């Protein structure tokens, strides 16, 4: 039977999704560059470049294999599919389940035949079964069950190395003056140049746009970074923008790499004995634990979850998020500049700087989520929504995380080298030199003490708050800081 196989821009793998078993002689491949996707929002150009160029390269590789490929530009995905359907007069459009609630609804309405999404290691029904059986959705419980189910880093039902996690070993601050191995650079070809020209963008050489480049990035991580991944996982330094993070999320998310390929490479390298358990476990946890958990929760929690705002946070997005000149906070200035440069910063700046700032300033979660979706290279709906709404700004009333990730300047000072050159002092909570994070951390706890006071995991924090002798002055300083942040002067 002749089929139209629709390939969304995040299903770019020949062996998974609807392409598994596809026949170049029979099947027509449909790919749609929708205006909604390219110009609908204020997308970071590096992100658009990466997504579009990867899709065009993938289309070319399918053509080379002998497929008829229809790559069309249209106002919406459905408009594009209509055009292709009319041209070939084929009724059946097939697609693997898409990665957002919105697209799922649109494809269902268009009567697309959906194939189970196998771009993850955990089928959606299996995750729902796990989540449905839990009182609280602890990632750690899910992760341990994953290790056993997938047979990764386990001996029988026991964890390899004698522990399920080595987090304690993986919290080192950045070393002084840290160069680290050179990052891999990706050369640009004709397709890249064409896409860059259409977008009016000068791309970096950081992100590959082909399967070959994505595999090279995986090899580079395994050979040069994997062994040191763990201990410096949480560190932030201006000396080195990625330390030993893998930079694999864009390819895992658009399909150029499959999670099983990354895990196979990691397990193989660990078995050589050259990679310490704290790095192997730390990395594998991210892929078979966090990534799968976040995707599972996105589907489990449903389409309304993204609208949560249970802390009633109403502040408009601060100007510093879109213009690094609108702040004197060195950590934020550096982070926003890094995002402008390459559409990426690692997990800790996303969580403990950007989200922490949105949380303690009471920024509207949906405005913050929209901004995060627009500026990151690896942002997709399924991954941003739980990470921002649940983990980042605790807007879901604790459905995902047992307590908010709020922190003052002391944490940032310990885990980075941002504070030394900063005009603010992480140790101070009042006065003109006080670190905005430190002031607003206490102010946040005070503002929400009713919501959190019964949370036993926060008892130490409230014990600290109750001992503050300068709370009235701190509240006044917090007002000044919030108003200065709104005006772009702090």
Ligand X SMILES: Cc1cc2nc3c(=O)[nH]c(=O)nc-3n(C[C@H](O)[C@H](O)[C@H](O)COP(=O)(O)OP(=O)(O)OC[C@H]3O[C@@H](n4cnc5c(N)ncnc54)[C@H](O)[C@@H]3O)c2cc1C
Interface ranges with ligand X (CB under 6 A): 245-249, 252-253, 286-287, 290-291, 294, 346-347, 350-351, 355, 372, 376, 378-379, 383-384, 387-388, 391-392
378 binds, among ligand X, ligand SF4, none (CB under 5 to 8 A by kind): ligand X
User: Which residue's CB is nearer to ligand SF4, number 147 or number 326?
Assistant: 326
User: Which residue's CB is nearer to ligand X, number 355 or number 478?
Assistant: 355
Site string for ligand SF4, 436-475 (x = CB under 6 A): xx--------------------------------------
Count other Cβ atoms within 10 Å, centred on residue 292: 22
Site string for ligand SF4, 294-333 (x = CB under 6 A): -----------------------------------xxx--
User: Which residue's CB is nearer to ligand X, number 230 or number 426?
Assistant: 230
Q: For residue 41, give every residue at least 6 positions away whose Cβ sits within 8 Å of its Cβ, in sequence order, or none.
A: 370, 373, 374
* Residue of 58, 55, 65, 59 whose CA lies nearest to 26: 65
Cα–Cα distance, 463 to 452 (Å, whole number): 12
Token pair belonging to 412? 């940032």
Q: For residue 204, give every residue at least 6 positions away whose Cβ sits within 8 Å of its Cβ, in sequence order, or none.
A: 46, 341, 342
330 binds, among ligand SF4, ligand X, none (CB under 5 to 8 A by kind): ligand SF4
Provide the minimum distance between the beta carbon of 433 and ligand SF4 in the complex, in angstroms, as a whole number. 9
Name the one residue in this structure whose structure tokens are 């027509």. 28
User: Which residue's CB is nearer to ligand SF4, number 320 or number 400?
Assistant: 320
Measured between alpha carbons, how far is residue 342 from residues 25, 80, 107, 328, 332 in Å? Answer: 40, 30, 32, 21, 15
Q: Does 419 bind ligand SF4 (CB under 6 A)?
A: yes
Assess contact for 122 and 296: CB atoms under 8 A.
Answer: yes
Assess contact for 84 and 28: CB atoms under 8 A.
Answer: yes
Using CB under 6 A as the binding rule, the residues of this chain from 398 to 417 that contact ligand SF4 are 409, 412-413
Cα–Cα distance, 25 to 66 (Å, whole number): 7
* Residue of 479, 490, 489 whose CA lies nearest to 315: 479
3-state secondary structure of 6: strand
95 binds, among ligand SF4, ligand X, none (CB under 5 to 8 A by kind): none
User: Which residue's CB is nearer to ligand SF4, number 385 or number 435?
Assistant: 435
User: Which residue's CB is nearer to ligand SF4, number 255 or number 409?
Assistant: 409
Assess contact for 462 and 452: CB atoms under 8 A.
Answer: yes
Q: For residue 51, give every residue at least 6 positions away whose Cβ sits within 8 Å of its Cβ, in sequence order, or none.
A: 9, 37, 254
User: Which residue's CB is nearer to ligand SF4, number 195 or number 336?
Assistant: 336
Cα–Cα distance, 121 to 394 (Å, whole number): 27
User: Which residue's CB is nearer to ligand X, number 137 or number 376?
Assistant: 376
478 binds, among ligand X, ligand SF4, none (CB under 5 to 8 A by kind): none
Provide the minimum distance between the beta carbon of 330 and ligand SF4 in the complex, in angstroms, as a whole number. 4
Stretch that binds ligand SF4, among 194-202, 259-267, 356-364, 421-429 (CB under 6 A): 421-429
Binding-site ranges for ligand SF4 (CB under 6 A): 329-331, 409, 412-413, 418-419, 422, 424, 426, 435-437
């Amino acid at each position: 039977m002749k089929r139209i196989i629709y390939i969304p821009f995040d299903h770019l793998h020949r062996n998974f999704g609807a392409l598994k078993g596809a026949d170049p002689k029979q099947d027509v491949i449909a790919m749609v560059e929708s205006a909604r996707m390219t110009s609908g929002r204020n997308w970071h150009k590096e992100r658009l470049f990466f997504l579009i160029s990867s899709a065009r390269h993938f289309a070319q590789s399918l053509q080379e294999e002998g497929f008829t490929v229809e790559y069309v530009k249209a106002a919406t995905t459905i408009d594009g599919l209509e055009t292709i359907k009319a041209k070939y007069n084929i009724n059946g459009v097939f697609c693997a389940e898409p990665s957002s609630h919105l697209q799922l609804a649109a494809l269902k309405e268009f009567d697309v035949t959906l194939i189970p999404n196998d771009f993850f290691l955990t089928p959606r029904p299996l995750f729902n079964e796990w989540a449905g059986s839990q009182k609280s959705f602890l990632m750690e419980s899910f992760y341990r069950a994953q290790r056993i189910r997938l047979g990764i880093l386990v001996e029988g039902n026991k964890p390899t190395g004698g522990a399920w996690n080595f987090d304690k070993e993986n919290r080192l601050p950045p070393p002084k003056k840290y160069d680290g191995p050179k990052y891999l650079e990706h050369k640009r070809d004709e397709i890249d140049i064409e896409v860059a020209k259409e977008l009016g963008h000068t791309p970096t050489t950081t992100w590959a746009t082909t399967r070959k480049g994505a595999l090279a990035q995986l090899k580079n991580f395994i050979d040069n970074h994997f062994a040191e991944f763990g201990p410096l996982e949480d560190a932030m330094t201006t000396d080195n923008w990625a330390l030993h993070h893998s930079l694999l999320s864009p390819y895992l998310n658009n399909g150029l790499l499959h999670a099983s390929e990354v895990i196979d490479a990691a397990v193989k390298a660990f078995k050589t004995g050259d990679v310490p358990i704290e790095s192997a476990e730390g990395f594998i946890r991210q892929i078979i634990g966090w990534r799968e958990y976040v995707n599972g929760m996105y589907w489990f929690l449903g389409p309304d979850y993204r609208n949560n705002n249970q802390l009633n946070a109403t502040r408009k997005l601060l100007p510093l998020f879109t213009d690094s000149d609108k702040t004197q906070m060195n950590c934020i200035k550096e982070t926003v500049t890094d995002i402008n440069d390459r559409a990426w910063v690692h997990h800790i700046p996303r969580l403990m700087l950007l989200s922490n700032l949105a949380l303690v300033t009471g920024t509207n979660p949906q405005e913050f989520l929209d901004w995060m979706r627009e500026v990151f290279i690896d942002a997709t709906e399924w991954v941003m929504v739980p990470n921002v709404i649940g983990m980042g700004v605790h807007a879901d009333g604790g459905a995902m995380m047992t307590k908010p990730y709020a922190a003052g300047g002391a944490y940032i000072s310990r885990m980075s080298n941002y504070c030394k050159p900063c005009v603010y002092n992480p140790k101070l909570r009042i006065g003109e030199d006080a670190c905005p994070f430190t002031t607003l951390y206490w102010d946040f706890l005070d503002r929400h003490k009713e919501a959190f006071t019964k949370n036993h995991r926060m008892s130490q924090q409230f014990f600290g708050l109750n001992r503050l002798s300068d709370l009235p002055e701190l509240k006044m300083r917090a007002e000044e800081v919030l108003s200065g942040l709104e005006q772009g002067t702090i």
